Structure 1
Amino acid sequence: MENYAKILKTHGIRPTIHRVQILKFIVESKSHPSADEIYEKLKDKIHAISRSTVYNTVSLLKEKGVIEEVVTPSSIRYDYSLVPHNHFYCIKCKKVYDIYGALGALPKITEVDGHLVKNIQYCLYGICKNCLNGGE
């Protein structure tokens, strides 16, 4: 828990029990959970956590640059990674996969029409190899 509290403090966020647990869940999750999924998984484990606490916390974590949003057609999901990467969204099973390196050759854009670009996310859409092979 100390590491998660330290991450929050580094980003200027007071490490409450709920914030630490929500960040821990996102970091340890491989599924890029939505706020509703985070709430459903944590509501029986953490005393007095509410859906609004989860939504407010993920909003704060995103605003402070701790996590990033992964916008898919079905929901907004959250991801934590120290390594720059992109995402692949399966239109069949609705899973989100991390993609490392495949898009590394794309240009780094820092300004567009006078706007300062702080982050670029690419999300590829298609059918994952598991679904292509008949799995689900």
Structure 2
Amino acid sequence: MEIDIAEALRKKGLKVTPQRIAVIKTMIKGGHFSGEQIYSELKKTEPSISLSTVYNALETLKDAGIIRSFEAGGKTWYEMRMEPHVNVYCEDIGDIVDVDLDLSTLEKNLMEKGIEPRNLSVIVYAECSKMRKG
């Protein structure tokens, strides 16, 4: 997924900063990240970056709708995947697995009740050690 990060930030009305670009470059590879994981990764190439700077960048990017966050296993996780999907938190192995399910019925039912979801995030806690591969 090749995107112009600076242009994406500008389109959302955000100032282009090296920290925001670095966070997005780390996350663009895909997956789920805690703030500490992103900080640890960025510290390798940006030794002067602070944990609070990483969290500030994450919150700004989340508020702008560039990334999303969810709570699972006592942590806040961040991801770039914005379309509705199910995040399965594997309690036994500590992984998070994306599962593509049609969530349109859930979204429709919510809207019929006058609830307009801006960030449809479904979290399932499960045991995954016996998960089928493929």
TM-score range, shorter chain: 0.7 to 0.9
Q: How far did 1:104 drift?
A: 4.3
CA distance in 2, matches of 1:116, 1:101: 19
**Structure 2 unaligned residues grouped into runs of 5+:** none
1:5 aligns with 2:6: yes
Question: How many percent of aligned residue pairs carry the same amino acid?
Answer: 29
Matched letter for residue 4 of structure 2: N
Q: How far did 1:73 drift?
A: 2.1
Give yes or no for contact 1:72–1:89 (8 Å, CA) kept in 2. Answer: yes
**TM-score if structure 2 supplies the norm length?**
0.83
Give yes or no for contact 2:90–2:125 (8 Å, CA) kept in 1. Answer: yes
Residue in structure 1 matched with residue 19 of structure 2 by the alignment: 18
Residue in structure 1 matched with residue 29 of structure 2 by the alignment: 28
Q: How far did 1:29 drift?
A: 3.5
How many residue pairs were aligned? Answer: 129
Residue in structure 1 matched with residue 44 of structure 2 by the alignment: 44
Q: What RMSD, in angstroms, separates the aligned Cα atoms of the two structures?
A: 2.3
Deviation digits for residues 36-89 of structure 1 (CA, Å, limit 9, x no counterpart): 110011112125211111010001111111111021023101010253322111
1:61 aligns with 2:61: yes
Give yes or no for contact 1:90–1:96 (8 Å, CA) kept in 2. Answer: yes
Residue in structure 2 matched with residue 132 of structure 1 by the alignment: 130
**Structure 1 unaligned residues grouped into runs of 5+:** none
Give yes or no for contact 1:18–1:46 (8 Å, CA) kept in 2. Answer: no
Matched letter for residue 28 of structure 1: K
Residue in structure 1 matched with residue 91 of structure 2 by the alignment: 91
